[in-house]
Structure 1
């Protein structure tokens, strides 16, 4: 992906943001480098909203936008050029090159941010920033405000209103552009290939982390330098732990393996879950539970179209799952009774999906004015029903510790949806054939 294309999109987003805000000052910081231990840091990952507007991938930077009645000024604060630090840590743009490269009107050294921000805040009517996201930034902005308020006797006014910029920015990020969809589509293909690799590698006696290593290897091999989140590679009873992350158990013949893993490409996530037998063949009980879960996903996918509410896929999946639980003898009563009492939650206790984009659990409200929001073209969501059978008095032993989740990434388009991860096998026949091959 060419940097210039990213910058063009970022500049357009800055313009769009300014057009939706009343006069004032926008302040959006990125992430800082975090110490892992001693003088070693975790791999740096930018703040998603900052990157969405800037395309700038260095730590300890701040985006500022001054919105006037008829003018908009875009400003970047970033680390100064430092040849000695660059010898140790790598290239830095520095303010001058950053402004030219990333399309800012001006850029300043982060060393000067305190004095510059006091000047920029003078006589601004309001501040827009991610309120209460990080306490250190709440404190910093309060310090700047205090400095401006101290100048009141000189005729200078301080902003008297603080607005959470995410109210507007999250809604912008919720609707993906063609540029973003192209990245998400490619990320879905890369992730599907990694899951196929995992299916073909898996066999009894291996450890979960060995399968995880195959997935990560394929991400890196295809150009994704990081996973979108910590991979879940859960065999046997571990598959009934929704956010299992140890990935250290030895896989046994006859168990299922649930893999929930996603890659990150140019900042954008992919998120796939597949469940398959460690030995390559589903048992009768495993197949019965799997087919119910797959039918639930198909029912949810049918509801993924513009005009339907966010909750429609979840309701459709829940009905299929609840009826399947009754058919298997795991629950008693009619479908209406099971849904009303929510007894199905013994085996299905989470929602059917979430927004996806720069964050794997991406931004955007799920309800508007107290009502489930309508799906619109450009939204990207996951569809991931699950069926988790822990040992219990009402569970026959043959069904114990079967945990299944099936997840795909879906783009809502003008008429229906596009499954961005459809190339990853998910029927029983497709999985068994893939593993045999």
Structure 2
């Protein structure tokens, strides 16, 4: 299905983006209305951002047709899964809310980020919206209704233009669009007791309280015996990336790789971790990323043994290594990279031995992906490989039996070696780690070594923390490392980190 052919024409196809992104949260698109006047909409379109969005695309590289196909695939999957479980059904009602704007304090909002499932199915980047798909159990028959905030002159003065329901069908390719205030009455029609309907809605984690309140009401009245959570179905679709998604992921990985390389070169003894943080953030945004994909870890010295260290406020001394875990978000798709380097540009003997051992483990894990193991099988393999290599360098007793060495290896690397990657950093969380890898999946490979001062270990290793993480695409021809441009060999890391 997926092979290296998808990447061969990557640079040519990606040139349409010109590598200069405009944040959709802070920009607008315009079209001409029937009177020829300029009509602004809530997100960029091809009419005003041709450098960013091609004709037929709703968001960069994702076409209206692909969004329609995603909705159809969701219906087909849901129908096939429930046909035997609920033979009496004649209709499905699937409700997917958007995110809502959140505030740090009064009138001071956080940067808005759209809910990934809603964005995946609609391409709509506006808050306080909702997608409702109604489908009969007959194959191929469904209707998508997008509920949006109405245009409001006063609100748009403060927060920017809205698309409005009147423009949504043309822009997003849905069947119809209605004002958000009509969602309640629409659901009332869907919840007629005479119809045998199955409600699909995530009651456990709703990103939009307004929708949750409405759905709770009709759930109790009508759907109390027939409801399900659509999240796993959506995640089963999202975990396999389309060619367009792979191109976006490739660019996200390229941006983060180059930003980390430049950050390595910037670092020097006496630098503060927050300066390193600021550098990678700046470099990612400069190359077109909207934001960092998550709060980065920038850990100098023994702080690298704290796996989720994000304080990033200490000085990095001569002789320390820096562990940086950072990635960026590029048009809705994330990268996730970790590199460890000597701040003075030269590994000492202990650091070099540990680094080479860890790199050897990671190299073997990536090679093992050719056989399409599960993520949990990769984790078991990591423990085995670490047990051998940590014994080789004297961190653990090489004469112990394998079970003991594997327990010791887990003690020095207590996290999993991989997760799915995509629109979210820890993507498609409902997808099992016990299914074989499939072409189109993108995963991380991230073994680590963390020796804190409480560990029983040789003195020279105490306070040592390392991780090497890459983002890897599964193809028919084998694994493709999307972050290959980020310095990784001992020689290349030393060269990149030498000022």
Question: Into which bin does the TM-score normalised by the smaller protein fall?
Answer: over 0.9
C-alpha separation in 1, matches of 2:431 and 2:231 = 14
Maintained 8 Å contact 1:310/1:366? no
The CA deviation at 1:374 is 0.7
Q: Deviations 1:161-203 (Å, cap 9, x if unpaired)?
A: 1011122111111111111101001111001010001101000
Maintained 8 Å contact 1:306/1:415? no
Say which of 390, 404, 410 aligns to 1:338. 404
The CA deviation at 1:338 is 2.2
Say which of 348, 358, 375 aligns to 1:310. 375
| TM-score (norm: length of structure 1) | 0.93
Give the equivalent residue in structure 2 for 1:68. 136
Give the equivalent residue in structure 2 for 1:285. 350
Give the equivalent residue in structure 1 for 2:98. 30
Secondary structure, aligned partner of 1:32? coil
Q: 1:191 to 1:338 in 2, by over 3 A?
A: same
Secondary structure, aligned partner of 2:396? coil
Between stretches 230-239 and 127-136, larger displacement belongs to 127-136
State yes or no: 1:427 paired with 2:499. no
State yes or no: 1:391 paired with 2:453. yes
C-alpha separation in 1, matches of 2:177 and 2:455 = 65
Give the equivalent residue in structure 2 for 1:14. 71
State yes or no: 1:169 paired with 2:253. no
Say which of 84, 100, 103 aligns to 2:173. 103
Give the equivalent residue in structure 2 for 1:153. none
Maintained 8 Å contact 1:378/1:412? yes
Give the equivalent residue in structure 1 for 2:216. 142
Secondary structure, aligned partner of 2:323? strand
Secondary structure, aligned partner of 1:394? coil
Give the equivalent residue in structure 1 for 2:306. 241
Say which of 376, 387, 393 aligns to 1:322. 387
Q: 1:91 to 1:366 in 2, by over 3 A?
A: closer
Q: 1:306 to 1:327 in 2, by over 3 A?
A: closer
The CA deviation at 1:63 is 0.6
C-alpha separation in 2, matches of 1:21 and 1:140 = 23
| TM-score (norm: length of structure 2) | 0.81
State yes or no: 1:405 paired with 2:467. yes
The CA deviation at 1:144 is 2.4
C-alpha separation in 2, matches of 1:129 and 1:337 = 44
Q: Deviations 1:103-132 (Å, cap 9, x if unpaired)?
A: 111111112221222113322510112241
C-alpha separation in 1, matches of 2:353 and 2:395 = 12
1:116-195 mapped onto 2 (5 Å cutoff): 116-122=186-192, 123-134=195-206, 136=209, 138-146=212-220, 149=222, 160-195=225-260
Q: Deviations 1:268-325 (Å, cap 9, x if unpaired)?
A: 0000000000111000010011111111101110111353232333233222211222
The CA deviation at 1:394 is 2.7
C-alpha separation in 1, matches of 2:164 and 2:224 = 30
Secondary structure, aligned partner of 1:302? helix
Maintained 8 Å contact 1:171/1:364? no
Between stretches 75-84 and 330-339, larger displacement belongs to 330-339
1:222-301 mapped onto 2 (5 Å cutoff): 222-301=287-366
Q: 1:335 to 1:219 in 2, by over 3 A?
A: farther
State yes or no: 1:85 paired with 2:151. no
Maintained 8 Å contact 1:356/1:382? yes
Give the equivalent residue in structure 2 for 1:155. none
C-alpha separation in 1, matches of 2:215 and 2:431 = 30
Maintained 8 Å contact 1:330/1:394? no
Secondary structure, aligned partner of 2:78? coil
Q: 1:364 to 1:39 in 2, by over 3 A?
A: closer
Q: Deviations 1:246-288 (Å, cap 9, x if unpaired)?
A: 0000110000000000100111000000000011100001001
C-alpha separation in 1, matches of 2:411 and 2:337 = 24
Secondary structure, aligned partner of 2:101? coil
Secondary structure, aligned partner of 1:260? strand
C-alpha separation in 1, matches of 2:390 and 2:287 = 40
Q: RMSD between aligned alpha carbons?
A: 1.8
C-alpha separation in 2, matches of 1:168 and 1:33 = 26
Give the equivalent residue in structure 2 for 1:48. 116
Maintained 8 Å contact 1:254/1:277? yes
Give the number of equivalent residue pairs. Answer: 424
